[in-house]
Amino acid sequence: MAILSASNLSKSFGTQTVFQNVSFLIEEKEKIGLVGLNGAGKTTLLKILAGRMPYDSGFISISRDVAVGYLAQDIKTEGFETVGNALESVFITQWELERQLRSLEEQMSRPEVYGDEDKLSRLMERYAALSEDFAASGGYEIRSRIRGVLKGLGFEDPATPVSALSGGQKTRLALARMLLRAPQLLLLDEPTNYLDMDSLQWLEGFLKDYPGAVLVASHDRYFLDRIATRIFELENHRLTIYAGNYSDFIKKKNENLALEQKREMLRQKEAERLKKSIQNFISHRNYVQAQTRRRMLEGLLPISDGNRVKHSLRLKFEMEQASGKEVLRACGLNFSYGDKVILQSVDLKVFRGERIGIIGPNGIGKSTLLKILAGELLPSSGEVLLGHKVQAAYFSQEQEGLSPNSTVLEEVWDSAPGLSMTQVRSFLASMMFSGEDVEKPVGVLSGGEKSRVALAKAILQGANLLLLDEPTNHLDIISKEKLEQALLEYGGTIIAVSHDRYFLAKIATRIWEFTSQGIRDFDGGFAYYLEKKMEKPHQEQPQENKTRLHRTRREQRQQREEEKRKKQELRELEQKIMALEDEIQELERLLCLPEVYGNPEKAKEVNTRYRAASEELEELYENL
């Protein structure tokens, strides 16, 4: 049963359209992920549904007795002394009922009351009614629920002062209060911000089992994969609904985009061919054929959509040369900041083609290790040995290597001085920097723009070893997908620090987990890491490690061979298309000859072959 329906919702700020004619239903108990680029209108839609913002036109209907809870990104938790006070305040009604019950218990225990049957009977009836209300409102589970939420979201002491909490902890406290209220419809705006991995896993489990409906805007794709049963995408001012979780959504969206690109390529090819054909027939005064093709061309012309937003980021990492089999070796690395030990006795080996994901809590040394491997920091003791022909490129999450006073063009061109200005500008256009954007100083760029500049510099270095520190930070959800695809197609070695579990699940073939006891090496992907974390600790046998490593490398080799086979098939298909296009061009030339169009039988023969060749060409385009 639908608990909320929205019909033809539209919202604008001045002349800027946010979305228009948006319609959808939310069923009870279903879990929906809301995705879209930054600025697409996700927060605006949530605020409208929560009654926090008016809309321009349309209609919203919410079922009677359905409570709506809204968690904003800019939450406030002032007015409470401690974490425990903040959570207990959610249950004011239940606490009052409990106070009345305790008061009645005290009255019934008095000698003058239990000696008066009539008075005792009235008090007991009142007590029974209040007990029923208290139980119905969940009063007996309050303390257990509070303990569960405190533990799940990482609050160790309920007596912690709210004033002492960090911004991230205040966000978690607001989330805890919302979850304890348990409304029938939860509207959550980026609830995974500031949550560590344990809290994320707890929240995923909580929301999957939540008895109400959930609509959540999030950039955390792994989170959406775990909880969502439908995906709402806001794009180009419209809402598109996909069945399934995030992976189902992105698969269907990529299929739709690929089909749209094929159709557009075919349309452009056919339009160009028809334009040439029209000119050809006019030059030979065959106006009937020219007019027929002009009508065909008019049917191919696109309908202009000024509101459409195109995402044109194109990434491809290439190596100047392959490295040796052993890429690097860390021997007895130690590093300290003053008296604080960060790394101690670290010994690691990395081999060609591995994609290593580094995980662990903040401040434990992940970025420090990456900087040491990149040569940005010197270890207190120990050494890093690079293998034969290893060329490394380092991507810093803080982008310390970017000069704030340089323009985008200057900053990127410095990484590839051998390229011409035209080549660099063309490359920057593929990174979504075009026109006047390339003349912007780096210091005024947004976080996402700086990330793209840093990625551009890493790409142009032609490295065979990529050292990436939180590469998906500041990137929108589509740019993350494009980065991951580029890294999957990259033939070199990758070592990446990341909190993005979807990125790790898609990229990593090996996991290094930083713990207070040292670095744990998991010779498998992120799913394997999670599987092992669920098992009881045990000592792995060396043979198990060796077998798994061989299997991983075999799978990587098979994947590379499959990619080569697909590229070969694509080259053969393109050759067939070129041959057919040449044949069609020759048939059009024949149709312009008087001896052909003046001979009905000959003209019919050429036209028949022309139509067959055109249909065959269209089929080949469909197979691209």
Q: For residue range 355-413, list pLDDT tens digits in order.
A: 999 998 877 889 999 999 999 999 999 999 999 999 999 998 777 778 888 998 998 88
Kindly report the backbone phi and psi dihedral angles of residue 5, in degrees, each rounded to the nearest multiple of 5, phi listed first.
-130, 140
- Tell me what pLDDT residue 242 has: 95
Strands 68-71 and 185-189 turn out to be: parallel
Residues 6+ apart with CB under 8 A from 263: none
What is the amino acid identity at position 70? Y
Locus of tokens 């690097």:
328
- What sign results for the dihedral spanned by CA atoms 517, 373, 482, 438? positive
- Tell me what pLDDT residue 539 has: 47
Contact in structure between 403 and 395 (CB atoms under 8 Å): no
pLDDT in tens, 261-315: 777 787 788 788 888 888 887 887 777 777 877 877 777 665 544 444 455 567 8
CA distances from 234 to 41, 222, 377, 407, 447 (A): 7, 19, 43, 33, 22
Whole-angstrom Cα distance, residue 532 to residue 547? 16
- Tell me what pLDDT residue 153 has: 81
CA distances from 542 to 129, 327, 352, 545 (A): 66, 21, 21, 5
The CA-based angle 568-574-577, given to 5 degrees, is 145
H/E element holding 465?
strand 465-469
Whole-angstrom Cα distance, residue 612 to residue 624? 19
Q: Which tokens belong to 392?
A: 């490394």
Whole-angstrom Cα distance, residue 353 to residue 455? 20
Question: Which has the closest alpha carbon to 532: 359, 370, 363?
Answer: 359
Whole-angstrom Cα distance, residue 231 to residue 249? 7
pLDDT, averaged per 10 consecutive residues of the chain (624 residues), comes to 93 91 94 88 93 94 91 69 86 88 84 77 86 86 87 83 75 83 90 78 88 92 93 93 93 83 78 82 77 75 50 78 93 89 92 94 87 93 94 84 87 84 86 85 83 87 92 82 90 93 94 92 92 66 57 71 76 79 79 75 80 75 61
Q: Order the strands of the 238-243 sheet from edge to edge.
A: 68-71, 185-189, 213-217, 31-35, 230-235, 238-243
Residues 6+ apart with CB under 8 A from 102: none
Contact in structure between 399 and 468 (CB atoms under 8 Å): no
195-219 as b/e, with b when 16 or more CB fall inside 10 Å? beeebbbbbbeebeeeebbbbbbbb
User: Can you give the three-state secondary structure of 245-276, one letter per residue?
Assistant: CHHHHHHHHHHHHHHHHHHHHHHHHHHHHHHH
- Tell me what pLDDT residue 464 has: 94
**Which DSSP category does 78 fall into?**
T
274-295 as b/e, with b when 16 or more CB fall inside 10 Å? beebbebbbebebeebbeebbe
Q: Which tokens belong to 128?
A: 């029974």
Strands 381-386 and 493-497 turn out to be: unpaired
What structural domains does the chain harbor?
82-164 (no CATH), 326-538 (3.40.50.300)
HSE-up (13 A, CA, CB side) for residue 515: 10
Model pTM?
0.67
Whole-angstrom Cα distance, residue 207 to residue 245? 14
Q: Which tokens belong to 278?
A: 């029209």
Whole-angstrom Cα distance, residue 299 to residue 301? 6
CA distances from 225 to 102, 123, 213, 216 (A): 47, 53, 16, 12
H/E element holding 617?
helix 600-622
Contact in structure between 461 and 391 (CB atoms under 8 Å): yes
Q: Coil, helix or strand for 593?
A: coil
- CA torsion, ordered 547, 552, 555, 561, to nearest 10 deg: -110
| Helix segments in 375-500, DSSP class H | 408-413, 421-430, 447-460, 477-489
40-75 as b/e, with b when 16 or more CB fall inside 10 Å? bbbbbbbbbbbeeeebeebeeebeeeeebbbbbeeb
Q: Coil, helix or strand for 233?
A: strand
CA distances from 94 to 2, 90, 101, 103, 131 (A): 29, 9, 10, 14, 11
Whole-angstrom Cα distance, residue 291 to residue 316? 44
What is the amino acid identity at position 552? T
Q: Which tokens belong to 524?
A: 């498998």
Whole-angstrom Cα distance, residue 367 to residue 395? 11
